[in-house]
Structure 1
């Protein structure tokens, strides 16, 4: 039988997988972040009110929360790699609908994008677990760094691209190009059978058994408060900095700069973990530093904002990378990784997004900045508590060991 290129050159296949994986990660949030800077144009052309704008801002987080556990369900019917391919195609359709579908397309397209990219981001962690079981920390460092980079690229480039192309519709559609390219690149991997049977089998990845597992809950609650604290400042920091006297451009640049600073911390988090003595020790330093920098941004000398934003970004970047690593490392196998990813990201995005949105009840009150800083501190300290618990040794599995074979039934023929 004629062998494929991936079967005759396994090293090429693994390098190719890493490159395409990182490109997918780059696209996981880019089309979302590209929409936020164009909200003013959308409000003008589509006559959006404040309520509509608020729904538009929080909708991606909610949809990602629904999509993550959905991915764990769908791998029972469709091979993980093909599911990723279908999901990226769905996201592409959503980008086009959002761009040219009017008011219905604006929200419906965002839902399709969230479902497609949410399933992709959840299921691909299981594929990483199967291909690189002993390089999880490095792969998740790359995952986090590329997600942060994609977010920063989308936020910084969206408005200039829209102006260059003549409007927000073409500007939003533009971000489908990179996703289309990476979808074509993934097609080769979706059909590959060179690095494990799960490349061409479905998986049993039920989330329900994990609801009784303490470690799974610790990982999920850590993810929840990580999302809550991050989105809280992402949503409200620009408004709060304008109240301190910054203009609109500079206030928006604060979080953009913090996002860029997340990239090196995420990329080198493996070394930071080694230097600090472990994940728990790194969290013990990184999370309090992010809290201190938050208070510094809101109450410290205004001309010190680059220092505070840099420290904040470095702390958040390291914690993000740890959060993704824990999902994959605490899972016993590929199926368990998909299930744990679905549970933690589902709970994290939905509940964390709602906790972050509590800031809307505080920001317009007297001393709203103090209330936001207080909420951020509470969320961060809760995340530190559950993160240290989640970092303790232990594995999560959705499969019982068969007494006859000694193997776990993770795959369906």
Structure 2
């Protein structure tokens, strides 16, 4: 492809590349839950250890997000995305070694790559698709949800096919490597220009903190769902395959709302109402899965997927809408996800510990609803038509 042709085709190609990257940003996380009982039976992992297994990767997501602005300024977003997807592949492959140390280490390493990619993609959307921010955010969020569904739904069948959970988890290194190979084409063509103007840190910006609170708390709902929903369903009498299937359908249910909500929200001046509606849908659906009729777990799972997927797409859209430009989007994305995922990490841990302390799932479900309520409070600020930070100073 010649240079002029590449430049003309770049928006389409980089959009497709973002989809490939997005597909790999959840299977390393969602493939754990359906196999958790098998892992515990084979390794002797305790319930507390299982809670930490679902929590540590989310914490690593937050820590990795701090690197986002540094990577953008020093190497460019494209090179940063390439590094991120290779780190995801490394973490996924490491789990194939078997045993608890590679399992925990691989999960954390993959999460670092996921966190870095998650920070960089909103900046690329703001830079290359500023006029179609809602549509592009919706597209890559939808593909991300489809990746999550694939990871959850295929976990048990892959474990059966490969004779154990280790290879079933390691296989996710393959699509990550494929995405890295496809993304390489963008690295030599990174546009060079003057370094971005220095900005005031967002740590004293109240709107930035409101966006951060909403991002973190709605993410906590998602990671509780990814990590514990299969276990909850199995405790209600479903087999591992059935629980994985419902979780997969739940993840597939995220796709339409992940696509449509950002596109719709980007057309609104105020996103508060849609945030509250999605939080109510998510909480009601989760309660129904925990304590409702077992015969209706499938429609309840779809409802939960619609709520969770819409919330995630909305949170990413709000990051783009509240930023003034691509650098501001990267800074806000880094702050909201670094702090937000650190908050989100407490959700799966607290959910598991509440189950151990009180037995059953009702107290844990109450915690889920409390997190949804807190997320709604932050959404009332984050959804306003405002911009974070001051505009960059003129040179």
TM-score (norm: length of structure 1): 0.86
Alignment of 1:63 onto 2:60: yes
Alignment of 1:381 onto 2:378: no
- Of residues 139, 142, 147, the one that matches 1:150 is 147
Aligned to 2:309: 317
- Of residues 146, 155, 160, the one that matches 2:157 is 160
Aligned to 2:252: 260
Aligned to 2:111: 114
Shift of 1:251: 3.7
Aligned to 2:344: 352
Shift of 1:113: 1.5
Q: Distance in 1 between matches of 2:197 and 2:89?
A: 27
Q: Distance in 1 between matches of 2:121 and 2:60?
A: 18
Task: Deviation per CA, 1:350-390: give whole Å up to 9, x if none.
Answer: 11221342122322455743322322222112212211311
Considering only CA atoms, is the larger Rg found in Structure 1 or Structure 2? 1
Distance change in 2, residues 1:164/1:118 (3 Å): same
Mean alpha-carbon deviation: is it higher for 261-270 or for 370-379?
Answer: 370-379
Q: SS of 1:75's equivalent?
A: helix
TM-score (norm: length of structure 2): 0.89
Distance change in 2, residues 1:258/1:5 (3 Å): same
- Of residues 186, 190, 214, the one that matches 1:189 is 186
Q: Distance in 2 between matches of 1:101 and 1:94?
A: 13
Distance change in 2, residues 1:373/1:110 (3 Å): closer
Distance change in 2, residues 1:360/1:51 (3 Å): closer
Q: Distance in 2 between matches of 1:367 and 1:99?
A: 33
- Of residues 273, 279, 283, the one that matches 1:281 is 273
Q: Is the 8 A contact 1:336 1:398 kept in 2?
A: no
- Of residues 170, 174, 186, the one that matches 1:173 is 170
- Of residues 4, 7, 11, the one that matches 1:7 is 4
The unaligned stretches of length 5 or more in structure 2 are none
Shift of 1:161: 2.6
Shift of 1:205: 7.5
Q: SS of 1:392's equivalent?
A: coil
Distance change in 2, residues 1:5/1:31 (3 Å): farther
Aligned to 2:206: 214
- Coordinate RMSD, CA, aligned: 2.8
Shift of 1:272: 4.7
Q: How many residues are aligned here?
A: 395
Aligned to 1:408: none
The unaligned stretches of length 5 or more in structure 1 are 406-413
